[in-house]
Amino acid sequence: MNDRDSMKPGDLLLPVKSFCRLSGQIIAPLSFEIHAFSVKFAYSLTRSAYMEQNINFEDIFESKLAKNDFIEPKDWMPDNYRKHLIRQISQHAHSEIVGMLPEGNWITRAPSLRSKIVLLAKVQDEGGHGLYLYTAAETLGVSRDELLDALHTGKAKYSSIFNYPTLTWADVGAIGWLVDGAAIMNQVMLQRSSYGPYSRAMVRICKEESFHQRQGYEIMTHLAFGTPEQKQMAQDALNRWWYPTMMMFGPPDKDSPNSENAIKWRIKRETNDQLRQRFVNQTVPQAEYLGLTVPDEKLTWNEAKQGYDFSEPDWVEFKNVINGNGPCNKQRLKARNDAHKNGAWVREAAAAYAKKKGESTAVAA
């Protein structure tokens, strides 16, 4: 019996030394190319091991979903499940780093030292969230370079909300209150996603997003209870950000091409429409406390469903924005491409240092 014959399928993810642990849970590669190869190789070995033992790996996959067990990188998974995860997790990662741009625009113009420090911390958090999520995507066998190239060439999508401009300081408050509030609504359920690395990444992200939402609501509170001009600024920001935030949950369930599989595979646990309804139910009382008016003439409480009836967003505008024709699409992509180009020397220096350190370690050994 050779070593492979004695292996269990679950043992087949190679213990490559270039792996390290991030946030106590997520495996992150120090070499993205080696990592992507290792995941694909381990996956093929796992599939072969199951076939040799006459095991139906699809039944095992479905059984894990039924028991609410995690699917891990070393496990067999359907190709469409893997592709769906790569698309969703990478879009989520892109949204985090593109999402740094609208608020980063206000760091130098924040109205006080405290607000500047808080905003700096928040923008830094968003960069970290992108890192966790890119790392989770890499466990599916795709490299960081592939993911970033898809973003920079416009092939990959990110959340449509970040293609709108931040015109005033109140917009920073509206983003924290509304946009991060909607993100939390969507992301809390992702802590129970069927894919282990994605689920574990979301635990820390959700904790930090809750801070972001409180930061935004604090800004809106100061403005709403300030001077008449400040309250009007808060109302104007709510007027402009309400419907773009409603679009964040995605198209209506009947028009969503990905929701059915996401629910079936337990990648997400609630539909777009369910999340949108819950967001409205939670946010309207918060606006009322601030003395602000949600810009929806059809907004009424429905006693029968114990929730609000509300107007649908402009889905034509939504499609326009995600297709690259929003107010700031070109500006956002240019900023990301410029940052990537200007940061090339940092990546090259880090690679050179890692190579030199590896050679020194090899000589010492």
What mean pLDDT is predicted for residues 328-354? Answer: 95
Question: Which tens digits make up the pLDDT trace of 129-180?
Answer: 999 999 999 999 999 999 999 999 999 999 999 999 999 999 999 999 999 9
pLDDT in tens, 17-61: 333 333 333 333 344 444 555 555 555 555 555 555 667 889 999
Q: Give the separation between CA 107 and CA 166, rounded to whole angstroms.
A: 12
CA distances from 193 to 43, 69, 70, 72, 278 (A): 20, 10, 8, 11, 19
Contacts of 77 (CB under 8 A, 6+ apart): 61, 71
Task: Quickly list DSSP for 198-254.
Answer: HHHHHHHHHHHHHHHHHHHHHHHHHHHTS-HHHHHHHHHHHHHHHHHHHHTT-S-GG
For 314-331, write each residue's pLDDT tens digit: 999 999 999 999 999 999
Q: pTM value?
A: 0.82
Say if residues 29 and 73 touch (Cβ distance below 8 Å): no
